[in-house]
Amino acid sequence: MENMLLKLYYSMKRIRMVENYIADHYNGEVREMRTPIHLCDGQEGIAAGVCGNLHRQDTVFGNHRSHGHYLAKGGDLKKMVAELHNRETGCCRGRGGSMHLIDRENGVALTSSIVAGNVSIAVGYALAQKMKKTDTISVVFFGDGASEEGSVYESICYAKINRLPVLFVCENNLYSISTPFCVREPNADIGSKFETILPVASVDGNDVLTVYEKTREITEHIRNGEGPWFLECKTYRYRNHHNTGNGVDNRFRTTEELDLWKAKCPIMKLERKLSAEGLLENAEIERIEDEIQKEIEAAFSYAKESACPDAGTLCEGVWS
């Protein structure tokens, strides 16, 4: 248990530090990362808690905000940073940028900029796994906005009817770009839209332990062949929809609202618990931060030293 708590802490902390480093280097005089970025600060507990339960061969399907999913699932940091710099050594050979991350060896099938597009792909993949009789499961991450797309409803029905091994993880961060959830939907829960179709759980996405434990329970059911589940994780993002601002600067939310959610930071919450239980000393926090910082700097050096794709090869591996 102690070991697992520290792993979850490390996983969240690493995601936060990687994204902060990206943000700090994104708007320099020379734009070295030309890809649009959608940061997940504030939502790390979901990626860490869900992926903490997955086996290497289980496969995740991310969306436009997927640095956290990729890293928590074991995706290669160097290749991700190189992808953000559009280098040939990137995980999509520099053609995809931040919204298109792949690490097949570690079970990251894809991340996609097409809102909700990943959901039906994850279901198709789960169907293939079932037909091949493997025991791997598909996990798809999508937002509250994506949950309003018709293809999500169709995918969920199809997965249920065919008892497919899929976990639908909806990260309800209360906004679709800058439109709040409360002006789009009549219910407080997203899960309630789907509970007549499949089993649904709605949890505090800012409590990594809750996410972890609920996912462990759910994945056992899915692995037993009982069919798909829907997990709604309530959360909040600290940044703008894209790029590095905080959403207060372009006035779609108030400082008070942001501060309220910053006080519920998933990393701070676990750090306090671990410290109170004597499982994490300040010196250990510093050691962890130092180790992650070195890893990040090495990844950025690797990216910057890598070559850009040769112009003559630019269309290789690009289908649309």
Ligand X SMILES: Cc1ncc(C[n+]2csc(CCOP(=O)(O)OP(=O)(O)O)c2C)c(N)n1
Instruction: Give the residue with the Cβ less far from ligand X, 126 or 170.
Output: 170
Burial 77-88 (b: 16+ CB within 10 A, else e): bbbbbbbbbbbe
Contacting ligand X within 217-246 (CB under 6 A):
241
Of 235, 56, 32, residue with least CA distance to 141: 235
Query: Which residue's CB comes closest to ligand X?
Result: 143
**Minimum gap (Å) between residue 183 Cβ and ligand X:** 13
Instruction: Give the residue with the Cβ less far from ligand X, 78 or 241.
Output: 241
**Hey, which bits of 71-195 come out as E strands?**
108-111, 138-143, 166-172, 175-176, 179-180
* Spatial separation of the C-alpha atoms in residues 165 and 26, rounded to whole Å: 38
Contacting ligand X within 191-210 (CB under 6 A):
none
143 touching ligand X, by CB under 6 A: yes
**Minimum gap (Å) between residue 299 Cβ and ligand X:** 24
Amino acid at 228: P
Contacting ligand X within 2-41 (CB under 6 A):
none
Rule CB under 6 A: choose which of 175, 194, 236, 238 binds ligand X. 175
Q: What is the number of alpha carbons within 13 Å of residue 153 lying toward its C-beta?
A: 9
Binding map of ligand X across residues 77-96, x = CB under 6 A, - = no contact: --------------------
Rule CB under 6 A: choose which of 114, 260, 268, 298 binds ligand X. 114
Q: Give DSSP secondary structure letters for 248-294.
A: TTTTSS-HHHHHHHHTT-HHHHHHHHHHHTTS--HHHHHHHHHHHHH
Rule CB under 6 A: choose which of 173, 202, 219, 240 binds ligand X. 173
**Minimum gap (Å) between residue 65 Cβ and ligand X:** 4
Rule CB under 6 A: choose which of 20, 35, 106, 113 binds ligand X. 113
**Minimum gap (Å) between residue 254 Cβ and ligand X:** 18
Burial of 68 (0-12, 13-18, 19+ CB in 10 A): buried
Contact residues for ligand X (CB under 6 A)?
64-65, 113-115, 142-146, 173, 175-177, 241
